[in-house]
Amino acid sequence: MKKTIFALALLGTLYGEDFQEIFKIGQKGAKTLLTTLKSEMKKQIKENGIEGAAQFCAFNAMVLTHKVNQELGENVSVKRISTKYRNPMNKPNESEAKILFMLENTNSPVLTKVERKGEEDKEIYKFYQPLRIKPVCLKCHGTAEDIPEGVRDTIHKIYPEDKATGYKLGDLRGAIVVTIERDKEKEEK
């Protein structure tokens, strides 16, 4: 926590006081998506078991993410990424993959400023919240011994090219990415 506060203070000095506000927006977006997905998965596990929850996740995680995006507003969006993705829509781009590599050894979030040509009127930031494997995650993302046979069969039917298994407790599963767009004109006033 002290390292995060120090990083915030340092970056706040480098990027201006606005940095802390942007960081908080990123935290809120990541927390909203994580809370939404976790609560729905807990409910599905309780009502339908791990296999039913795996099916629900496959067909509804993107729908829930879309709902969170609507809730967060026009200039903020969230998504999940992983180098060992199950859904190809969660595949990171090159710069996101580099951040995931950096996150391997930390639990602290990362905030970057994105430089895009042709978008001089906007400032774009990406907030990365690392996702670590917890005990319940192993039932769908662990080793062959961790994942019940019915769950393995369900996942293989839905995602024949699944890459999201073989994790151990505490491994980096991926990250929630919160993209924050800000108009430069508003910031300068």
Q: What is the pLDDT of residue 2?
A: 41
Phi–psi pair at 52, nearest 5 degrees: -65, -35
Report the pLDDT averaged over residues 24-38: 96
Domain boundaries, the chain: 2-188
pLDDT in tens, 50-101: 999 999 999 999 999 999 999 998 899 999 999 999 999 999 999 999 999 9
Lowest mean pLDDT among 32-41, 90-99, 106-115: 106-115
pLDDT at 14 over 70: no
177: DSSP letter: E
Largest CA distance in the chain: 59
